[in-house]
Structure 1
Amino acid sequence: MDLLTLAGLAGLALIDSTSIGTLVIPIWMLLAPRVRASRFLTYLATVAIFYAIAGVLLVLGAEAATTALAGLSDAAWVNWVQLAIGVGLFAYSFRFDGARARRSGRGPGRADRWKARLTGENATVGAMIGLGLGAAALEIATMLPYLAAVGLITSAGLPVPLWLAVLGGYVVVMILPALLLGALRAVARHHVEPLLTRVSAWFAEHSDSTLGWVFGIAGFLLARDAAFRLGLFNQWINS
């Protein structure tokens, strides 16, 4: 796996780190008057474990499909279709206008319903696990960055220990911003709370723009992989 692919995976993981489950809810927890580290870490660990297990299942399923369709990826028409999809996704990403989304007044409604339960005094470790599972499960339908990352890991043809390490690294990067904010909040609460408030407000206003970046990165990586398989870069260099 080359450095550009690893950089792409890191970028996708950072985009995944801005979802409701991986950033918005942790920020709300950190904005509570009293933050219990055990609850905060339990929540993040639950989300990370859920994503890791889902990733393993997706990679194994993708490998099984790849074995069943051995040789199909060598077909030129398949690579041209992948290239078209990648270019299409990249072009489609420009349709996501953050300013237009802000004018519509739309917000993350389901996240609002979780806020009181996460920041209240009656929240328990069991509730953190349940809400972590719920947050991750509800976002499966919108986990495009993760699906793109799984596709890149699978297409790399890595041995099992290596792709498990790459997948684990992806999940760690995905929750890293929340962990860093938690550490900053612990050592400099009064300085960090205004930042947390601004980040939470920014995310609420720019959720559409974030989704546009998801489509753009996924499209670029798909198109790049197809172009290499078709030898388009070699033709361009030789010309």
Structure 2
Amino acid sequence: MDFLTGLPLPAALAILALVDGLSVGTLLIPLFFLIAPGRPRVGRILLYLGSITGFYYLVGILFTLGIVSAIHIGRDFLDSAFGQWALLLVGLALLAAGIWMGERDSRRKKRAKAGDPSAQQGSARLLRWRERVLAPHTSGAAVMGVALAAGLIEVASMLPYLIGMTMIADAPLGMPARFALLAGYCLVMIAPALLLLAARLLAARAVERPLQRFTAWMQRTGAENTSWILGIIGFLLARSAFTELGLRLPFIG
């Protein structure tokens, strides 16, 4: 992650937040709402986005409060040889996980082409969530519940978010500034969905078909994108640890 540390903190956080903004909870589910038949239910969509933003903001506050007290211990640990070996193992594990997820997604796509209904379970779940949120009788609490469920399912796998929270906690800033950066991060996370909502309202005919194609692409490549993120982060962590340990391998450099 050397390229991020060379950037001003707000710029680095904006990049990470935009990556997080391409996740299932922050973009794919809102896209499903936008392409639903009829006029977009703006109130429901904004309530969903506000709820998932509030969830990540609360998690970020708890994460920051917890990590600030431990950040110095963690830095000392990572500066040690044992810590670098641990970082190397974590990086290799993430790299392996990314490769495994990519292979699993490839097998799922092959099953889907062969007509295996089990390969379509993820799509069916998203459709059920959309129907639940947009149904006329659905309460605001149910919409918030869907957002909370999406956040809980995703939060552990959103590595850019965790990296961003660590950068905020490690910055020499007071708590008000940390919380302001965290709020900005969470707002940038939903910016792509808000822009698409505005486009859907202002130019419905022009963007409806592109939105449908983009949603289908997100649906097809969501697992693949996650595997790439895991693999790249794992590679960068492993490369950093190899460099700090004075080790060199031809395929890492």
Measure, in 2, the Cα distance between the counterparts of 1:6 and 1:223.
25
Q: Which residue of 2 aligns with 1:66?
A: 71
Q: How has the CA–CA distance of structure 1 residues 184 and 199 changed in structure 2, closer, same or farther, with 3 Å as cutoff?
A: same
User: % of aligned pairs identical?
Assistant: 38
Tell me what 1:54 maps to.
Answer: 59
Do the aligned residues in 1 keep the contact of 2:81 with 2:245 (CA within 8 Å)? no
Counterpart of 1:30 in structure 2 is: 34
Amino acid paired to 2:109:
R
TM-score, scaled to structure 1 = 0.80
Name structure 1 gaps, 5 residues minimum.
Answer: 233-239
Q: Give the superposition deviation at 1:217.
A: 4.1
The separation in 2 between residues aligned to 1:152 and 1:137, in whole angstroms, is: 22
Paired residues for 1:13-28 under 5 Å? 13-28=17-32
Provide the secondary structure at the position in 1 that maps to 2:39. coil
Query: Judging changes above 3 Å, is the alpha-carbon distance between structure 1 residues 112 and 38 closer, same or farther for their aligned structure 2 residues?
Result: closer
User: Alpha-carbon deviations, 1:90-140, whole Å to 9, x = none?
Assistant: 465344155444223334243232121123333343332222222212323
In structure 2, relative to structure 1, the CA distance for the partners of 1:150 and 1:226 (3 Å cut) is farther
**Residues 25 and 69 of structure 1: CA distance in aligned 2, closer, same or farther (over 3 Å):** closer
Secondary structure at the residue paired with 1:25?
A: helix
CA distance in 2, matches of 1:9, 1:223: 22
Q: TM-score, normalised by structure 2?
A: 0.76
CA apart distance, 1:157: 4.6
Q: 1: distance between equivalents of 2:235 and 2:175? A: 26
1:103 is aligned to 2:106: no
Aligned counterpart for 1:123 among listed residues 124, 138, 145 = 138
Q: Report how far residue 189 of structure 1 moved.
A: 0.4
Q: Distance in 2 between the 1:84 and 1:146 partners?
A: 21
CA 87–8 in structure 1, closer or farther in 2 if over 3 Å, else same = farther
Displacement after TM superposition at 1:226 (Å): 5.1
- Report deviation, 1:231: 8.9
Q: What amino acid maps onto 2:56 in structure 1? A: Y
Q: Does the aligned pair in 1 maintain the 2:98–2:228 contact within 8 Å?
A: yes
Q: Is the 8 A contact 2:90 2:234 kept in 1?
A: yes
Q: 2: distance between equivalents of 1:88 and 1:37? A: 42
| Residue in structure 2 matched with residue 139 of structure 1 by the alignment | 154
The residue identity in structure 1 corresponding to 2:57 is A
* Cα distance in 2, alignment partners of residues 205 and 5 from structure 1: 33
Q: After TM superposition, list the pairs within 5 Å mapping 1:53-202 onto structure 2.
A: 53-66=58-71, 71-90=76-95, 92-95=97-100, 96-97=102-103, 99-105=106-112, 106-107=119-120, 108=122, 109-202=124-217
Secondary structure of 2:69 counterpart: helix
Segment of structure 1 superposing worse, 122-131 or 31-40: 122-131
Q: Which residue in 1 is equivalent to 2:44?
A: 39
- The whole-number CA distance in structure 2 between the counterparts of 1:223 and 1:156 is 23
| Match in the other structure for 2:251 | none
Deviation at 1:49, TM superposition (A): 0.6
| Deviation of 1:163 (Å) | 2.7
* SS of residue paired to 2:40: coil
CA distance in structure 2 between the partners assigned to 1:220 and 1:156 by the alignment: 24
Flag the 1:69–1:27 CA change in 2: closer, same or farther, 3 A: closer
Equivalent pair of 1:29/1:40 in contact (CA under 8 Å): yes
Instruction: Give, in angstroms, the shift of residue 6 of structure 1.
Output: 5.5
CA contact (8 A) 1:83 1:226 kept: yes
Aligned residue in 2 for 1:235: none
Residue segments in structure 2 that go unaligned for 5+ positions in a row? 113-118, 247-253
